Amino acid sequence: VLVALRLYTKDRLLEVAQALLKLAAVCVRLAQQHQWQPMPGYTHGRPAMLSSVGLWGGAFAESLLENLELLKTTYQLVNQNPLGAAAGYGVPFPIDRELTTQLLSFARTQSNSLAVMNSRGKLEFAVLSALSCVLLDLNRLAGDLILFSGKSFGFFELPAGFCTGSSIMPHKQNPDVLELVRARSARVLTALTQQAVILKGLTSGYHRDLQETKRPLFEALDTTYGCVTVLTPLMSGLKINTERLNAALTPELFAVDEVLERVRAGVPLRDAYRQVKEQLQHLRKRDPLQALQARAHTGGPGNLQLEPLSRKIANKQREWEKLQRVFKEAKARLLQRGV
């Protein structure tokens, strides 16, 4: 059962990884197409400083790639062969565990037989933890899209195919798909908690409690894959309303620019901060393109590093395709042997 679970998890993680890479690539393309389109940046839910659509899209691409690193680590943990550990205490036969590791295309043999048994549920917990990080980012992406596509903002326009009408109000187009993504993130987080509670307090060896660690894993893998795959075409069809974005660039977004300009002129930061705060009504709106370009440090709106990010996605794509190819080849060999 544990071998089957490991093989199943490897297969599903490969699917999730490929889907994540597609979504990350869409986010990078959006960032490249609208790299210099300014938009307000928010802290505490209130206008804070100048941002850009490029910075926003690139941020999610980079976050998704971070999640991919977590998935890779969990894939490596799962990619251990437990076969031959029996009930956790080995068997008095000269079995060749390394042979089954090779035949099943595991990266290595999980050695200590009791450690194999104690890894039940624990490795699933690691997978759920990585999936939870994915869903946290998707939850934030969905929240941003719901907010910024609403009439009060109007920065983005969602593809009509991902919205539904109201049951009573004929003028409504509701972001139901995004709301479901946002809500379903709770499923994965709940599965992670459920897994932890099941494992807590167990002693070494097998317990029937571990039977209940499988359903949370299956459901979390399904939920994560579904959420990632539905967001990819949605993001591809997202429209940017430049008129509304430009209209939202109020002078307050340039308050920090004013402070730092005085600092460069020799005014101490505390004095410059106070001066600008006392004269907020006199703030002027600056050229947003120049302001973006001035933020030229690595990762700033004026230096988004989108080309290196695109290359990283391409490299990761090749890396995961290789893992998938090895897995498929091993499966094909085993099926052929069975015939």
For the question of residue 166 being annotated catalytic, the response is yes
Which residues are registered as beta bridge partners of 42?
47
Residue whose entry in the numeric block shows the structure tokens 């997978």: 127
Q: Which of 34, 44, 185, 282 is catalytic?
A: 44
Contact status, residue 146 vs residue 238, Cβ threshold 8 Å: no
Distance CA 83, CA 280 (A): 69
Q: Which of 129, 166, 185, 236 is catalytic?
A: 166
Among candidate residues 175, 137, 170, the one with its CA nearest the CA of residue 156: 175
And the tokens for 256? 């920090």
SS (H, E, C) 308-335: HHHHHHHHHHHHHHHHHHHHHHHHHHHH
For the question of residue 207 being annotated catalytic, the response is no
Which are the contacts of 35, defined by CB distance < 8 A and separation ≥ 6?
52, 53, 54, 304, 306
Question: 244-263: b or e for each residue (b if 16 or more CB lie within 10 Å)?
Answer: ebeebbeeebbbebbbbebe
How far apart, in Å, are the Cα atoms of 311 and each of 26, 28, 293?
14, 11, 23
Distance CA 173, CA 170 (A): 8
Contact status, residue 284 vs residue 261, Cβ threshold 8 Å: no
- For 97, phi then psi, to 5°, come to -70, -30
Residues involved in catalysis: 44, 166
